[in-house]
Amino acid sequence: MTLAQKLKQSGLRYLADHLDDVVALATKKRWSTVQILEHIVDLESDDRAKKSLDRRFARSHVGRFKPIADYDWSWPEQIDRPAIEAALRLDFLDGARNVILVAPNGLGKTMIAKNVAHQAIVAGHSVLFVTAAQMLLDLSAQDSARALDRRLKHYARPRLLCIDEIGYLSYDNRNADLLYEVIARRYEQKSLVLTTNLAFADWPTIFPNASSATALIDRVIHHADVTAIEGKSFRKREAEAARSRRARPKS
């Protein structure tokens, strides 16, 4: 068995893959034994931290998103920038508080939610990002009580659960109960980030009965920072700008 194989077997995979480079660098700099060991520990620690970050990001399903640095704060007619920046600092996580972003389509609430999720991942937390429709389709597809319980635990487990696009579809009794169950399992235990296009006063319109909506809203907003964003759609602005560019006569 080669030295590289022995290192891999011992769990020192990064060192095994870069052994020649490490030996060459240690020889060139004439490191002592302690310096070599410190360098190896640093390399392995950095590699494991990177792999852990990659795994958390892959499991989160956050996907691609624009960084918050690209957000045009001057475009919305109303936005509480300090509240959003506090959410990006993850101030809400320690108290198991929720962050609710209420805005019409096209004002960047999903972009903001994904940036909050990304910050939590970088900080070492487990995160899951899912649309309300995806989550409820998954839960309603379970064919036994045991399977459903496993999936409910899946959504209860992450330190931060981001549920995007609540209010875009109406929910029947079954889906309303499932959404309530997810929120109830996390209540006062772990944080939620929710995005919705509806004010809470309009939530009863997407549920089969007012009592279901009331119970949901009660648990969501009890420990929540609610930020409303108002204005015209970014996407509409960009589409109009594109049309204007195309309409200009070419010289």
85-117, pLDDT tens digit by residue? 999 999 999 999 999 999 998 899 999 999 999
Pairwise CA distance, residues 195 & 224, whole Å: 12
Average pLDDT over every residue of 44-68:
91
Q: CA nearest 223: which of 52, 95, 44?
A: 95
Categorize the per-residue pLDDT at 239 as very low, low, confident or very high, splitting at 50, 70 and 90: low
Whether residues 10 and 113 share a domain: the answer is: no
pTM for the predicted model, two decimal places: 0.83
Whether residues 27 and 128 share a domain: the answer is: no
Percent of the chain with pLDDT over 90: 59
What tokens appear for 90 in the block?
A: 């993850």
- Predicted confidence (pLDDT) at residue 212 exceeds the cutoff of 80: no
Pairwise CA distance, residues 64 & 78, whole Å: 26
Whether residues 111 and 35 share a domain: the answer is: no
CATH number (domain holding residue 99): 3.40.50.300
Q: CA nearest 169: which of 128, 127, 129, 140?
A: 140
Q: CA nearest 182: which of 125, 223, 132?
A: 132
- Predicted confidence (pLDDT) at residue 249 exceeds the cutoff of 80: no
